[in-house]
Amino acid sequence: MDNLFDSNRHFLEKSAFGVCQQLGEWMRINPARIRLYFIYASFVTFGSPFVLYLVMAFWLNIRKYVSTGTRRFWPSDFDPYPKE
């Protein structure tokens, strides 16, 4: 039973967008404490930190794509508003 719990915990920690991990590195705080604070705040404020968590995950994901220089959908010389 403990092995199942540990494997699920490992999966959740690695696949939860990395928001707490990056926030912990930036603030030099243990990510486990940040996760606990999010859980406590979610109970106290009826889930509003969960929305903040999702926004932060989206922002970190977009920032990752911008910093890695992934290809854009359109070419760099594409002008969406051509002058006539």
> Is 76 part of a structural domain of the chain?
no
| Mean of all residue pLDDT scores within the chain | 73
Residue 26 lies in a domain: yes
- Residue 75 domain flag: no
- Residues contacting 9, CB < 8 A, separation 6+: none
Residue 54 resides in a domain: yes
Structural domain includes residue 33: yes
The whole-angstrom separation of Cα 57 and Cα 38 is 14
Q: Is residue 52 part of a domain?
A: yes
**Residue 11 included in any domain:** yes
2 vs 32, higher pLDDT: 32
User: Is it the case that residue 77 has pLDDT exceeding 70?
Assistant: no
Tens-place pLDDT, residues 57-72? 787 777 766 666 555 5
Residue 4 has pLDDT above 80, yes or no: no
For the chain, the domain total comes to: 1
Query: Does some domain include residue 13?
Result: yes
Name the residue range of residue 46's domain. Answer: 2-68
Q: CA-CA distance, 61 to 17, in Å (whole number)?
A: 8
